[in-house]
Structure 1
């Protein structure tokens, strides 16, 4: 049978099957739902675990989810796709996910495939809450899965950085430094303050509670789910879509997305990072395609072990954090955002003193001046607060921008080799053809269009504004340099002293700040 007429084995597998998804309102979860209804149109039902939020019930949240532009393509080809998607009210923090008897019975009787992507993705979530969301939820899921009568596969979404305390990370589950059961028991009675005190000692050589608890969750799965058809997928840093359903789709500020927005608005000017460190960023559609393929392969292979699949791009070796900075700035020179306070510029440096000096001079001090102006015109100052918020967000990336890891892809390659030519195209997760320059162009454009929801028709005005801001900054810079040169060569000893004394004071203060921040960021 030729590839052009060959049917999709994966789509056939999902035909008349019911799928249960946790985390469906998250970035990966939304893409997973869209891809399933578009490429597996004969799927029976897709049950989504959704909790009420901010006064909106689950029906409202489901309508909001499905009305997204993400579903425009499938809406044009299959207007009735929404009938297959059913919201199930629940919360991963509640016992048994908070499922009522009817919904639990429906899942037990009808569910064939489970995708568990619900988790807190906040890097520095308080440890007690991170354990409850990322570890206890896995135990609850395993209990539910053991009851399911038609279960064929369970796919757990972890992270490639669960074991980032190692340099070479194999496709296997590593034993944690402490038994998860002990922490789970403690999280039931120990208060947050005690956990906060113990956090640094417990996570030890991992950078945050997120990676620590994801590693614990993997171990729980290996110990309590080895009699289930389970698989673990480990994406690296998940970025905007590459191709599906449209290039550059993004809906959150995590990771590179926040960098793009903050840089484009002129608020982020410098970052800590090694110029040669690999930026292991994987498009969300690549991740979702692999998840669906893993769900299929786990069912048909019936493995006696729990396979782990890395979903990464670092093996290409073509994208460093330095390259991201250069490529991104080139695109942000033409893809300009509205209401930028200055033109985009971002410097990556591994030197902590240089970083803190640049941050003070290019981010903190200008934000202070803008807040002074806001007060003068009778408006609420916001820029120092925004500056601090961006700093805290970017600081969580320091551990990853300063290092590189090796993620073998043996299982992922084996999975792709088991797929037909049709499925390799329909559920493509091979990134060898990924053009990073074009990808980052679409990423920047997607951040403007889908994340910030700015009108692309206003692009020319934004470019004109950026050019004006660049001319103003250049004028101020050359004026300041001219004044300094004039003062340096001025013959008055009194003027020399007037200049040198405050300069020495400023540099001493900067040295103290740099040392303080250096200790805090280690």
Structure 2
């Protein structure tokens, strides 16, 4: 083992520690497992709470997880790293997480560090299910942790947007708009239709059930975990990795990843939002490094109160949604995606009518034409449905692309100052050297390679397709302009009048469609 490794206080702490992780098959959880086994090789054991899925046993799911390209580096360093990882079958929706008595006893007798990242991150999850997954699961976790005989540290993963009804969010736990106990009780007996009908009134000034239930979970922790060594981390929008173990690694469509893919495929061309709003995106490896550091500090210092750590980039003030679109389009041109239907373009607008109008022109009508073509050639139409799915997905982001927040990070800065130089390098969460332009290049490349699993060697062919699509769009655009000019200046007055009438009818028809869609979707 190198001298630098021996000098690391954090690596030294994690020696011979047994760790329990929920949400290990999620985006953050996977990266956390990889980082722990790569940077802390002397860990005793890592236990993952995993539920069977689609007929796959938990062991098969973990085997699939560890075979991911994410683990290529650690696989080369420690070929037998998987021997330190075990799956415990369970589900956060089940009583006591659905753990068998034997598995529960393992955690009670051996576990010293807990990372709780399991949650539903779907913004429009039905409130009852969101409560069960994000709130009730926390109570179950605390009940389990109270039994653990060797417990030293718990890290709960929340979100910076748990209190997005405030413009300036401090690193503290705020009182909830409703007592969680009452809501948990109501979720047990209230009819689904009634519960769904009351959702908007219950969540009040929060945009979705995700942020609302995350706020409730924090409050429960503040009330029921006072005697436990617990800390809370609040990441903002989690994006692809910055440096570790692979720049640009991403494997889900949440947040910016979905925007990269939908834009690169030519299916998404306009969004509601402000070009000047801060895009508070944090790389997943930065988030994971901070989680590990928080676990270490909580264990060795045992803070009296529950500390909250913001893991955000908004305080840097260097990335806006306008820049996201600019950088993304620039790098998609060189990291071209396969089977694009139009040349990538993305713009943000704050005007709702303009948004719906542009969406009809740039997304709905082309999707309709493509579906007509699919029917003609005897294939199943798919583009209208796909466009509608993308629409519903991006509309959940409106609130976040239209507003900016202040997330002070005093506790995070304090934590960094408690680390020695070696740990600050190994478990880096200092973003002063982050180059957003290069980050988005890696993001686009990672989305292509790891998320879509496209052959990178075919990128040059994809770039040629992009160029053909751009030429085609230019031809269509200038043809339309030429037709209008010819119709206006080189035809009879009668024809011009008919053309103007038809143009107005088309304009008002498209406008009506846009308004109708807007009213239906709001």
TM-score range, shorter chain: over 0.9
In 1: Cα distance, 2:511 partner to 2:261 partner: 30
In 2: Cα distance, 1:193 partner to 1:239 partner: 35
Is the aligned partner of 1:137 residue 2:137? yes
In 2: Cα distance, 1:97 partner to 1:432 partner: 40
Q: Which runs of 5+ in 1 are unaligned?
A: none
Q: In the alignment, what sits opposite 2:66?
A: 66
The secondary structure found in structure 2 opposite 1:348 is strand
Q: Displacement of 1:486 after TM fit?
A: 1.0
**What is the CA deviation profile of residues 407-428 of structure 1, one whole-angstrom value per residue up to 9, with x for unaligned ones?**
0000000000000100000000
In 2: Cα distance, 1:510 partner to 1:273 partner: 22
Q: In the alignment, what sits opposite 1:205?
A: 205
Is the aligned partner of 1:254 residue 2:266? no
In 1: Cα distance, 2:171 partner to 2:509 partner: 47
- Which aligned pairs between 1:163-202 and structure 2 lie closer than 5 A? 163-202=163-202
The answer to whether the Cα contact below 8 Å between 2:360 and 2:513 also exists between their aligned partners in 1 is no
Is the aligned partner of 1:443 residue 2:440? no
In 2: Cα distance, 1:191 partner to 1:8 partner: 54
Distance 1:381 1:3, change over 3 A: same
Q: In the alignment, what sits opposite 2:216?
A: 216
The secondary structure found in structure 1 opposite 2:196 is helix
Is the aligned partner of 1:284 residue 2:313? no
Q: Displacement of 1:516 after TM fit?
A: 4.4
Q: In the alignment, what sits opposite 1:371?
A: 371
**What is the CA deviation profile of residues 227-252 of structure 1, one whole-angstrom value per residue up to 9, with x for unaligned ones?**
10010000000000000001000000
Figure out how many residues of one structure are paired with residues of the other and give that number.
Answer: 521
Is the aligned partner of 1:468 residue 2:468? yes
TM-score relative to the length of structure 1: 0.98
Q: Displacement of 1:488 after TM fit?
A: 1.7
In 2: Cα distance, 1:62 partner to 1:116 partner: 17
Q: Displacement of 1:204 after TM fit?
A: 0.9
Q: In the alignment, what sits opposite 2:419?
A: 419
Q: Which runs of 5+ in 2 are unaligned?
A: none
TM-score relative to the length of structure 2: 0.98
**What is the CA deviation profile of residues 356-391 of structure 1, one whole-angstrom value per residue up to 9, with x for unaligned ones?**
111111110000000000000000000011110111
Q: In the alignment, what sits opposite 1:485?
A: 485
Stretch moving more, 171-180 or 487-496: 487-496
In 2: Cα distance, 1:414 partner to 1:521 partner: 44
Q: In the alignment, what sits opposite 2:116?
A: 116
- Which aligned pairs between 1:147-158 and structure 2 lie closer than 5 A? 147-158=147-158
The answer to whether the Cα contact below 8 Å between 1:112 and 1:153 also exists between their aligned partners in 2 is yes
Q: In the alignment, what sits opposite 2:385?
A: 385
The answer to whether the Cα contact below 8 Å between 1:6 and 1:422 also exists between their aligned partners in 2 is no
Distance 1:282 1:267, change over 3 A: same
Q: In the alignment, what sits opposite 2:268?
A: 268
Q: In the alignment, what sits opposite 2:17?
A: 17
Q: In the alignment, what sits opposite 1:499?
A: 499
The answer to whether the Cα contact below 8 Å between 2:278 and 2:319 also exists between their aligned partners in 1 is yes
In 2: Cα distance, 1:516 partner to 1:215 partner: 34
The secondary structure found in structure 2 opposite 1:114 is strand
The secondary structure found in structure 1 opposite 2:146 is helix
In 2: Cα distance, 1:98 partner to 1:6 partner: 39
Q: Displacement of 1:497 after TM fit?
A: 3.5
The secondary structure found in structure 2 opposite 1:162 is helix
The answer to whether the Cα contact below 8 Å between 2:5 and 2:11 also exists between their aligned partners in 1 is no
Q: In the alignment, what sits opposite 2:320?
A: 320
In 2: Cα distance, 1:405 partner to 1:521 partner: 26
The secondary structure found in structure 1 opposite 2:198 is helix
In 1: Cα distance, 2:231 partner to 2:188 partner: 28
Is the aligned partner of 1:329 residue 2:329? yes
The secondary structure found in structure 1 opposite 2:461 is helix
Stretch moving more, 159-168 or 6-15: 6-15
Q: Displacement of 1:394 after TM fit?
A: 0.7
In 2: Cα distance, 1:20 partner to 1:84 partner: 12
RMSD: 1.4
**What is the CA deviation profile of residues 142-181 of structure 1, one whole-angstrom value per residue up to 9, with x for unaligned ones?**
0000000000010000000000000000000001110001
Q: In the alignment, what sits opposite 1:91?
A: 91
Q: In the alignment, what sits opposite 2:297?
A: 297
Q: In the alignment, what sits opposite 2:308?
A: 308
Q: Displacement of 1:514 after TM fit?
A: 4.1
In 2: Cα distance, 1:420 partner to 1:518 partner: 54
The answer to whether the Cα contact below 8 Å between 1:3 and 1:421 also exists between their aligned partners in 2 is no
In 2: Cα distance, 1:514 partner to 1:381 partner: 22
Q: Displacement of 1:288 after TM fit?
A: 0.1
The answer to whether the Cα contact below 8 Å between 1:241 and 1:247 also exists between their aligned partners in 2 is yes
The answer to whether the Cα contact below 8 Å between 2:20 and 2:114 also exists between their aligned partners in 1 is yes
